[in-house]
Amino acid sequence: MSNKGKYKIPKAHALWPILWRTLIFLGINAMIIAVLSILAGYVRDFRSEADCYYVRELADTIDRGTDAEREEALAALASDGHNYCIIDLYGEVMEHSGPITVSAYNDKKDEFYPRDLKEILDEAGVEKTEYGKGRKIVLDPGDNTTFLIDDYNTKLDALVDVYDLARNNPGALISASGNEVFSFPYWIAAPMSESSQILMVKSVLTVRVKDYTHLAAGMIIALIISFCVFILMIISVIMNISANRKLRRWLFRDDIVKGHNWLWYAVTAQDILSRRRNAHKTYAVVDLEFIRYRSFVLCHSVKEAELLLRQVVLVIRKKTNNGELIAHTTSAAIPLLLEVKDEDDARSRLQDIISTLEAIPCGHRLAFRAGVYLVIPAQEKIALNQKSYIPDIDLLYNNACTASLSLADVADSGIAFFDSDLVDEEKWIDTVTNRQQAAVNNEEFLVYYQPKYDPRNNELMGAEALIRWQTPDMGLVPPYRFIPIFEDNGFITQIDDYMLTHVARNQRKWLGEGRKCVPVSCNVSRAHFGQEDLAEYICGLVDREGCPRSLIEIELTESAFFDDENALITTINRLKSYGFLVSMDDFGSGYSSLNSLKDMPLDILKLDAGFFRGSEDNPRTRIVVSEALALARSLSMKTVAEGVEDKSTVDFLALEGCDMIQGYYYAKPMTSEEYENTVIPVPVQQAQAPKETPATPAEPEVPVSVPQLSADTPG
């Protein structure tokens, strides 16, 4: 899954918006000028084309009309004040009225210049054919042919550009009134094919100053409007940039420490790590956590805690370099991005930062833990097989947090680096979680038994049910590899049901075979005690298998006694009333309270191995163990010592009156087959005699309805 676009907030850039708006502005101005030029050209062409049409009509009348019509047309030209002349194809003036001011005409010699005459004839469609000593001249103009010729007073390459003359020579209009007229004379020529002659008529193209002032005013107004729009666009860009920056400041602000928040950290870190120039640098993604921050809040106040956090961030900021990042996420977490040389450099810098933070005077002992994930973008790119490296900041920071969690049980400051072992552990947790239900359904969990013996006569007094996981692909998995995972994800309650069901089933089977059945303890986890009808639920599991309740011992962990005490006492009393034995496991391993012994109606107290380890060398230990055993006897509770491995401890515990011992000295945990064959074998006389199903001891009736097991409960 691509991370492109993740944590990517659009930036407001000034250069490109201003550039493309400038291009639009220039384009609009060019369009305005072009439109006005086209308009001026239209007016010019309209006038000149009207004159050309008039001359063409006269030429047709003169060429094809009667003599009277010819005379009438020429008279009309003269009366209108138009100078004209008629020339033949050799340039001879056949007839004219007024001075001939055609630029190609030499009035002194009364003839046309040969070079200019040739151009006139070419324009009129005259073909010359040379043969022998003579030549043939043919006039073949197209329909409606007219063309323009320069006048002496208007030397232009193309008379169609007379308006351009005025436009390109604005000095001619200086100090001119709006009604002043400027004249540009030129000649219009119309070939006459019937008479093989050319009619030339002088015309005048007039330019009024007001025409150009109107055009100039329109152009100025249009340009001013365009410029105002351009200024408004630039202002809009500036306001947009300002609003974007304000929004980014708001989005990136952390009000607690008056600094940056996680979003800013993620966006900026992603930008830094994805730059090509940083590809071969090493960065440390750090999760720095304030240990016991909530304790500080309780002891002081939220306001003081926030002030302390600001001071912490300020101290860290002084320890960081340009280009390195510091932000604030949750109440006690401070993400960092440091540029380092290697792991040793990262550890040294973080140790310096933590030491400085610990020295902040606040009337409270400060401690910080740092989880670190080292990133080399070039290597990450290769590992991910990507053309360009787009870092997944969430994943990188999660790796740092995972490293930090490895220090969760440590109360002092510490630094931990993310490595492959943490990855393997997370993968193992994922594997166990994905396979847990299938393992129950396939009965991959095995019940192991560890016997308990009376140290005074070595008589079997009971056993504890222990769980193992026999997988088809990984072999036998010990409980410490999966039980903590089940406790974290809540699946431990199904394991409790599984164990109770299988132990009750085995006890009923062994009872039917005439074996010596002793109470077997089954652990019921702390999570189960949130169930109001737990006692009745356990009765339902055991009774369904036909096992006497007196052969099942419900074992509670010490941590269960820190929950709802009243509910726990009620559940214990109900279990005892239904015929179950109830014990406390691992007494002495944690923070056992004598008050819990006073209030809880327990049958059995199990002493943790660490409780009496070293009793042979430490008189104080012997005193504590002796008094604990005496206290249990005074409270009418039997005692079990766990983890006993040597005879001297057995002798000591026997002397002090310990009721049962469980440990490698007597037996290690064994499969149900080993347990039934070596610990509780069928008596010889019982094996030879016909088997009879022994009567099941009467059990106290459950005063409430027993809940039905769920469909996925093994049974």
- pLDDT on residue 539: 95
- pLDDT on residue 427: 85
Torsional sign, CA 595, 598, 601, 605:
positive
Q: Which long-range contacts (CB under 8 A, 24 or more apart) does 628-636 make?
A: 628/587, 628/588, 629/653, 629/656, 629/657, 629/658, 630/656, 630/657, 631/594, 631/597, 632/597, 632/605, 633/657, 635/597
76-104 pLDDT, tens digit each: 888 888 899 999 888 889 988 889 989 88
**How far is CA 616 from each of CA 620, 632, 646, 660, rounded to the nearest angstrom?**
10, 21, 11, 19
- Evaluate if residue 55 carries a pLDDT over 80: yes
- d(C-alpha 568, C-alpha 534), whole Å: 10
DSSP string, 281-349: -EEEEEEEEEETHHHHHHHS-HHHHHHHHHHHHHHHHHHSPTT-EE---STTEEEEEEEESSHHHHHHH
Whether the CB-CB separation of 558 and 584 falls below 8 Å is answered with: yes
- Evaluate if residue 667 carries a pLDDT over 90: yes
Query: What percent of the chain is predicted at pLDDT more than 90?
Result: 34
Which residue is it, tokens 């787009």?
390
Confidence grade of residue 699 (pLDDT, cut at 50, 70, 90): low
**Angle, vertex CA 290, rays to CA 289 and CA 292, nearest 5:** 125
> If you average pLDDT over residues 473-482, what whole number do you get?
92
Q: Which of 1-15, 296-310, 670-684 tops mean pLDDT?
A: 670-684
**How far is CA 554 from each of CA 36, 411, 515, 520, 598, rounded to the nearest angstrom?**
102, 34, 22, 9, 19
> If you average pLDDT over residues 147-170, what whole number do you get?
59
Phi-psi region of 588 (alpha: psi -120 to 50; beta: other; left: phi over 0): left
590-604 pLDDT, tens digit each: 545 566 777 788 999
214-256 pLDDT, tens digit each: 666 777 787 788 778 878 777 877 777 777 777 777 888 888 8
Task: Name the architecture of domain 254-418.
Answer: 2-Layer Sandwich (3.30)
- pLDDT on residue 529: 78
- pLDDT on residue 421: 74
- d(C-alpha 471, C-alpha 438), whole Å: 11
Closest CA to 506 of 542, 560, 553, 550: 542
The residue ranges of every structural domain in the chain are 21-221, 254-418, 441-688
- pLDDT on residue 532: 82
- pLDDT on residue 216: 66
> If you average pLDDT over residues 471-493, what whole number do you get?
91
Q: Give the β-pairing of 414-417 and 660-662.
A: unpaired
- pLDDT on residue 583: 92
Confidence grade of residue 460 (pLDDT, cut at 50, 70, 90): very high
- d(C-alpha 225, C-alpha 404), whole Å: 64
Confidence grade of residue 712 (pLDDT, cut at 50, 70, 90): very low
* Token code pair at residue 261: 């928040």
- Evaluate if residue 311 carries a pLDDT over 80: yes
Q: Which of 14-23, 27-36, 88-97, 592-601 tops mean pLDDT?
A: 88-97
- Evaluate if residue 168 carries a pLDDT over 50: no
* Token code pair at residue 163: 């308006």
- pLDDT on residue 77: 85
Instruction: Considering only CA atoms, give the Rg of the chain.
Output: 55
Whether the CB-CB separation of 641 and 674 falls below 8 Å is answered with: no
Average pLDDT, the chain: 81
554-574 pLDDT, tens digit each: 998 766 665 667 888 888 999
Confidence grade of residue 488 (pLDDT, cut at 50, 70, 90): confident
What fold, for 441-688? TIM Barrel (3.20.20)
Sequence-distant (6+) residues with CB within 8 A of 101 are: 83, 151, 152, 153, 185, 187, 202
Torsional sign, CA 102, 108, 113, 117:
positive
* Residue 281 CB burial class (10 angstroms; 0-12, 13-18, ≥19): middle
- Evaluate if residue 165 carries a pLDDT over 50: no
- d(C-alpha 486, C-alpha 345), whole Å: 39
401-452 pLDDT, tens digit each: 988 888 887 778 999 998 877 778 878 888 999 999 999 999 999 999 999 9
**How far is CA 342 from each of CA 259, 287, 348, 442, rounded to the nearest angstrom?**
28, 17, 10, 48
E strand segments, 588-709: 604-607, 638-642, 660-662, 670-671
DSSP string, 21-53: HHHHHHHHHHHHHHHHHHHHHHHHHHHHHHHHH
In Å, how far from its chain's centre is CA 194? 88
> If you average pLDDT over residues 357-362, what whole number do you get?
88
- pLDDT on residue 44: 56
Q: Helices 393-405 and 262-274, interaxial angle, to 10°? A: 110
